[in-house]
Amino acid sequence: AHRPLIAPSILSADFARLGDEIHAVAGADWVHVDVMDAHFVPNLTIGLPVVESLLKVTDLPLDCHLMIENPDRWAIGYAEAGAYNVTVHVEAAHDPVMLAKNLRAAGARAGLSIKPGTPLEDHVETLKHYDTLLVMSVEPGFGGQSFIPDVLDKVRTARRLVDTGHLKLIVEIDGGINADTIEQAAEAGVDCFVAGSAVYSADDPGKAVEALRERAAS
């Protein structure tokens, strides 16, 4: 396996000090930014203006996870702003293939996310247009929830499709990832691990990132 990628989620960071909170995880691979609209999920967070400001204060790749309705309309702005990866939900996108093409044309990687209850099989044909698959291991909307191990079957399926050459994808997992759960996710074949509360509730978020990476690699 390759070096595991760790993507701290700033959802669990102090929103009044976002620049400092990102600098605290300088050894991370990506910074995960949770955009919520209070419609697709029952919570409201941050959007494009904040992402634009973050891009000015960090060189870390921004991994924008859009938990919003009608991403067909909004996702492109994040790509144009300079986000590294823009992930939309398959449950929300009207034309996910066109959306992926537009994101890539704007210079970003395109990500597709699936909620815990959404089967992967129905979307395998769509996935060939995407660079990342974000498997949700909690119901999207809030940090600090418990990991749902059932979703690892989808990770295994995606891993198999990648390893057999049928798909070229980074397999990413999001929700409930911590020192206790990361190993089973790694074993199932995850490439990139999002962790919010496990990183930002630690005394030293930077060390928490290193500890998670070590456990994922073991």
Buried b (16+ CB within 10 A) or exposed e, 63-88: bbbbbbbebbebbbbbbebbbbbbbb
User: Among the candidate windows 83-91, 99-107, 171-179, 209-217, which touches ligand DX5 by CB under 6 A?
Assistant: 171-179
Q: What stretches of the chain adopt beta strand conformation (E)?
A: 5-8, 31-36, 62-67, 85-89, 109-114, 132-136, 170-174, 192-195
Q: Which of 69, 52, 41 is nearest to 33 (CA)?
A: 52
CA distance readout (Å), 192 to 8, 15, 57: 10, 24, 23
Of 4 and 143, the one with the shorter C-beta distance to Zn ion is: 143
Is 34 part of the annotated catalytic residue set?
yes
CB 165 → Zn ion: shortest distance, Å?
28
The first and second tokens of residue 99, run together, are: 């959306």
Strand partners, 174: 136, 194
The residues binding Zn ion (CB under 5 A) are 34, 65, 174
Binding track over 135-154 against ligand DX5, x by CB under 6 A: ---x-xxxxxx---------
Of 161 and 200, the one with the shorter C-beta distance to ligand DX5 is: 200
User: Among the candidate windows 8-16, 52-60, 74-82, 210-218, which touches ligand DX5 by CB under 6 A?
Assistant: 8-16
CB 37 → ligand DX5: shortest distance, Å?
12
Is 163 part of the annotated catalytic residue set?
no
When asked if residue 65 is in the footprint of ligand DX5 (CB under 6 A), the reply is yes
N residues, the chain: 218
Among 34, 63, 131, 172, binds ligand DX5 (CB under 6 A): 34
CA 2/CA 147 separation, integer angstroms: 23
Of 161 and 209, the one with the shorter C-beta distance to ligand DX5 is: 209
CA 80/CA 76 separation, integer angstroms: 6
Q: Is 27 annotated as a binding residue?
A: no
CA 32/CA 78 separation, integer angstroms: 13
Annotated catalytic residue within 34, 37, 63, 131: 34
Q: Is 20 annotated as a binding residue?
A: no
Q: Which of residues 187-216 bind ligand DX5 (CB under 6 A)?
A: 194-198
Q: Which residues are annotated as a binding site for substrate?
A: 9, 65, 141-144, 174-176, 196-197
Q: Which residues are annotated as a binding site for a divalent metal cation?
A: 32, 34, 65, 174
Residues that bind ligand DX5 (CB under 6 A): 9, 11-12, 32, 34, 65, 138, 140-145, 174-177, 194-198
Residues annotated catalytic, as ranges: 34, 174
